[in-house]
Amino acid sequence: MIVGGLALEEAGLSLLMPMHLRLSASGRIIGIGATLGRILGRGGLTGAAFWDRFAVSRPAGVTSMGDLAARQGQRLVLSLPEAPEISFRGVGAAEAGGGVFLNLSFGIGIIDAVRRHGLTHADFAPTDLAVELLYLVEAKAAVTEELRRLTHRLDGARHLAEEEALTDTLTGLRNRRALFAALERACAGGRPFGVMHMDLDHFKAVNDSLGHAAGDHVLREVAQILLAETRAADTVARIGGDEFVILLPEIEGPGGMQAIGQRIVDRVARPFDFEGRPCRIGASLGLSFSGLFDDPDPDALLEDADKALYEAKRQGRGQIVMSGRFARQGVDQSG
């Protein structure tokens, strides 16, 4: 072929323009670049009618060789009727004798094309920057994915740190900080809720007779009892030593709290086994209720439950005592 006065063999054209098409004046494909031939099948294209295999999508109205020649130098968009997902961008130049030379590319669809057809650097002209740009896109995608994974790990680490800051390390229950946050939310929510303050009876005797390992074992066992006897929405916290507080949201009155409290007292009273030796403790509970306050706040509720707990201890331990506010305000404690 003569290009600009230079004679080029098909191999030379494929090296410089591996996506070219040569069309005869009658519209037959008489030359095809190596890459385009590999993608579309050189054997099926050579000698075929261009208009049977390709359609010019843009500009509109290009349906003949004369139309192609008249659009010399204009940007063309070609599609494949049998494979509409594949399209090419290109430019044409008229040849002597009525033929047309087309040089095509994938345009912005190069990334999909490379993946779909398994193209490599060797499938593009040495001067084509498409592959270098593709490398940059792939590198950016890799960096973006790594940043996404890093962000996910950091979010996980932050969530874990926040969770640890709100968790009692020995029992896995909520800690004092988490309890106060839950109490503040409950007070702001306006719905009735109860507060139980629980202290273990005879716990010091376990530590003194069997050691702190036994005491820690008992605390963990008690924590499991509290979780088992409360609801998923309740907040169960260890606020220090052998003291626990349970926040019971959306509870209508003292009757429900007493029922939960009695189950806890009964189960805690059963001996715990530690290395073959029984650990005998008990539990005393003081109960308070948000409905007893015109404007409930965490400190006031905890103080009220603590006073009830003190009275339970005074009455002989293993007891459940309601806040004195119930009697003073004439509230039915069986409801």
Active site residues: 242
Closest CA to 202 of 274, 286, 269: 269
Contacts of 126 (CB under 8 A, 6+ apart): 15
* C-alpha–C-alpha distance, residues 313 and 320, integer Å: 9
Question: Do residues 107 and 113 touch, judged by C-beta distance below 8 A?
Answer: no
Planar angle of CA 297, 302, 305, nearest 5 degrees: 125
Position of tokens 């948000």?
290
Which amino acid is present at 270?
R
* C-alpha–C-alpha distance, residues 19 and 123, integer Å: 9
Which amino acid is present at 288?
S
The beta-strand segments (E) located in the chain are: 2-3, 6-7, 20-23, 29-32, 55-58, 75-80, 83-94, 100-105, 193-201, 235-240, 243-249, 272-274, 277-279, 282-289, 320-322
List helix spans (H) across 107-253.
110-117, 130-165, 176-189, 203-210, 212-229
